[in-house]
Amino acid sequence: MHKHRFIFFILAICNFWIFGLAKAQEAMTVGEKESQVAFHSHGPLGLFSLFSAERVASGPFSIGVALYADYFFLNDFPVNGTDSERAVGRASLNWTPKQNLEFFFSGWALSSNQSDATSLIQQVGNINFGFKWAEDLSGTWSAGVLYEGDLRRPLYDRGLTNYPLSHTGFIVTTLRFTPIKLHANLGFRLDDTQDYAHPALTEKDAILLEALGENAIVGGVGMEVLLKRVNLSVEYSTEQTIQTANIDYLDHPQRVTLGFRYFPHAYPKLSFGFAADIGMFATRNATRIYKEPKYAFQAGITYYTGRGPQEVVVPESTSKLENTIVIGKVLDAKTEKPIGHAQINFCNSSVSPILSDPDTGLFKSYPLRKGDCLVKVAHPDYDELEMTLSLDGPELVQDFKLVRQSAPQGFLSLSIKDTEGQGIMADIAFPQIPSAQTVKTNLQGNIRMRLPEGKYLVEVRAEGKRSEQKIFEIIANSDVEGEYILADGSARLDNEKIVITRQVQFAPGKANIREESEVTLDDVANILQEHTEIKKLEVGGHTDATGSAVLNKRLSQRRAQAVVNYLVGKGISRGRLVAIGFGQDKPIASNATPEGRYANRRVEFRVISR
């Protein structure tokens, strides 16, 4: 009988999926899609077993509420002829005061069945609480962190008086590929339910109370299919204890969850959810952590008062009239590059503004009444655009080009000199602004630049000199002055070589670079950063003739590699450098004198290709 009930349930879930897919033949557009927001039974945005990294609009009334019930049944457990059942009721609350931040809280109670072989378990007043912080990393990818606390009431009738408080931290991520969303959770639980794993408690008690009694790695993956008024989901989740010895991965609790949510047309912020948990490998094996329920059911109702991601409300009176759809892009008027997150308001309507796509700048309006329509396009970095469109026909293609706001400007005047007070020509760069071009001073080392208001890190570089950086704050309509005194560098580019005036020093017989040589290598790194046309530089290590030739070659190779590693640490691409140890094969002086041996112990830099 129970087997037939299980088969019937699986068939019912599959039919829900097929029904939802059939209703999705008409593709949703940006203008037609209303926000479909639903909550995990514990409170955060999510599916039935996993949490979501997505965000909703923030505000004092951005609140979600949910009511959930779940049930599971184990036949012939804990002994043949005896069944084990559990029912849980849960109420949860979600609040989003900032778009990145959610707080959630849920209270729940459970009850088991009672039989000749099992005793009754009832708990009231358990709570879950926590928060989630999430960011949109791109137009399709969100990620964040989530903390959840789990506080249980004691089991006084079992002689347990402690209040177990478990803590779980998650990394959550969501990828969106319309109409599919992929979710992944990975976390670690500090489990405080050891008392529930007391020898006096049965395996049934541990299952009913969801008490592992040990710290565990928790997580899972899931896929959500967003259809019109319907969301379908499939999830895999597991708990893997880290303290239990000789227990395989498959013997830990894990399950597959098939879920179905429906959003009524008249109340799109309301959702009805139904899901099945199908227990997997740990259902029979004697080495299991505990017996996983073969199947379980969840049902829930959620309601959200705020606005969800990309929500657009379509007035009923407008959507039934003969109308026009406006499609196009929002672009920068000067560069023609797309502008994301621009707000587009059509026809002075109170309808929520359309947002342009963050990557492509594309937008698509909801159905608009034919005739003249005033369009307003706004973005914090651009001047607002107003344009009147004549809507006549089913579709109008129209791009909107915005002019970037002109910031207040001031002047920066610089004077570059050497240590003797003589002006020298130099390059001026802005390291914190990748798009800024390097400019040159005049022959006397002077330059005057017009810059928008703000703070700037300014780097000055000159051939044979050590570069220097300073920070300047530009104020509107002001003229800020600055002076740089550049000291002589210990390296210079001479045709196909970088010549250093102070030799690189190492610890005797080792490849450890001495601290006093770091300044020299810093100057070499600066030359490579300035001369990006140098594609490949040979770093050659040389020794004197003291000792074994084989050992000298090995030592010179290690020293040359140490120099390469130092330069890479200063931002030089490893692909531009090659280390070669020549040992004692290429002396530049006699090894018969101390002076000659000192000269032979050297590092040379040779340009291989430009």
CB 447 within 8 A of CB 414: yes
Q: pLDDT tier at 97 (50, 70, 90 boundaries)?
A: confident
Place of tokens 């010179």: 556
Whether the upstream peptide bond of residue 78 has omega within 30° of 0, thus cis, is: yes
User: 261 pLDDT band (50/70/90 cuts)?
Assistant: very high
Q: Given a cut of 50, is residue 30 above it in pLDDT?
A: no
Peptide bond into 264 cis (omega under 30): no
Residue range 68-83: mean pLDDT, rounded: 71
Task: Provide the pLDDT for residue 22.
Answer: 43
Q: What is the pLDDT of residues 423-448, one digit of tens each?
A: 999 999 998 888 888 899 998 999 99
The DSSP code for 367 is P
515 phi and psi, to 5 degrees? -60, -35
Distances (CA, A) of 549 to 36, 395, 503, 542, 604: 75, 81, 22, 11, 19
Per-residue pLDDT at 285 = 53
Report the distance separating Cα 155 and Cα 198, nearest Å. Answer: 11
Q: DSSP state, 291?
A: P
Per-residue pLDDT, 81: 61
Find out whether 357 and 139 touch, Cβ atoms under 8 Å.
Answer: yes
Which residue, 70, 68, 64, 106, is CA-closest to 87?
70
Distances (CA, A) of 185 to 213, 221, 480: 21, 6, 52
Q: Which two tokens stand for residue 470?
A: 């300073």
Strand pairing partners for 124? 109
User: Once rounded to an integer, what is the mean pLDDT over residues 488-504?
Assistant: 87
pLDDT of residue 533: 92
| Each residue's pLDDT tens digit, 310-367 | 443 444 444 444 689 999 999 998 899 999 989 999 988 766 688 898 888 999 988 8
Give 414's pLDDT tier (boundaries 50, 70, 90): very high
Q: Which pLDDT score is estimated for 315?
A: 44
For the stretch 217-258, pLDDT in tens is 999 999 998 887 889 999 999 988 887 667 778 778 888 999
| Range name among 89-103, 110-124, 129-143, 425-439 with the lowest pLDDT average | 110-124
- Of 496, 504, 503, the C-alpha closest to 531 is 496
Q: In 3-state terms, what secondary structure has residue 526? A: helix
How sure is the predictor about 119, in pLDDT bands with cuts at 50, 70 and 90?
A: low
What would the 3-class secondary structure string for 242-273 be?
A: CCCCCCCHHHCCEEEEEEEEECCCCCCCEEEE
The CA distance from 193 to 206, in Å, is: 9
Does residue 24 surpass a pLDDT of 60?
A: no
Question: Is the pLDDT at 2 greater than 60, yes or no?
Answer: no
| Beta-sheet pairing, 63-74 with 295-304 | antiparallel
Q: Residue 589: pLDDT above 80?
A: yes
pLDDT above 90 as % of the chain: 40
Higher pLDDT among residues 407 and 591, named by residue: 591
Lowest mean pLDDT among 126-130, 379-383, 565-569: 379-383
Q: CA–CA separation, 486 vs 575, rounded Å?
A: 30
**Distance (Å, whole) CA 119 – CA 112:** 8
Residue 318: per-residue pLDDT: 42
Report the percentage of the chain scoring pLDDT > 70: 82
**Whole-angstrom distance, CA of residue 568 vs CA of residue 564:** 6
Q: Write down the mean pLDDT value for the chain.
A: 82
Q: Which of 26-40, 89-103, 346-360, 458-472 has the lowest mean pLDDT?
A: 26-40
Q: Residue 289: its pLDDT value, please?
A: 62
Cβ–Cβ < 8 Å for 89, 83: no
DSSP label of 340: -
Q: Are the beta carbons of 297 and 72 closer than 8 angstroms?
A: yes
Kindly tell me the number of DSSP H helices and DSSP E strands found in the chain: 6, 33
Number of CB atoms found within 10 A of residue 368's CB? 22
Which pLDDT band, with edges at 50, 70 and 90, does 404 fall under? confident
- Say what the pLDDT of residue 312 is: 39
Lowest-pLDDT range of 130-134, 447-451, 578-582: 447-451
Tell me what pLDDT residue 259 has: 94
List alpha helices for 372-490, DSSP H.
none
Of 509, 512, 488, 487, the closest CA to residue 499 belongs to 488
Amino acid at position 62, single letter: S
CB 112, CB 121: distance < 8 Å: yes
Please give the pLDDT value at position 57.
Answer: 65
Cα separation, 255 vs 275, in Å, equals 12
Q: Give 261's strand partners.
A: 231, 273
13 in helix, strand or coil?
helix
* C-alpha–C-alpha distance, residues 467 and 429, integer Å: 11
581 pLDDT band, cuts 50/70/90, is very high
User: What pLDDT digit, counting tens, does each position of 133-181 carry?
Assistant: 998 887 678 899 999 999 988 766 666 677 889 999 999 999 987 678 8
Q: How many CB atoms lie within 10 A of CB 561?
A: 18
Instruction: Determine the distance from the C-alpha atom of residue 401 to the mean position of all C-alpha atoms in its chain, rounded to a whole number.
Output: 31
Whether 115 shows a pLDDT value over 50: the answer reads yes
Question: Residue 76 has what pLDDT?
Answer: 60
What digits encode the pLDDT tens for the residues 189-225? 998 877 665 555 566 667 777 776 788 899 999 999 8
State pTM to two decimals.
0.49
- Closest alpha carbon to 91 in 64, 56, 118: 64
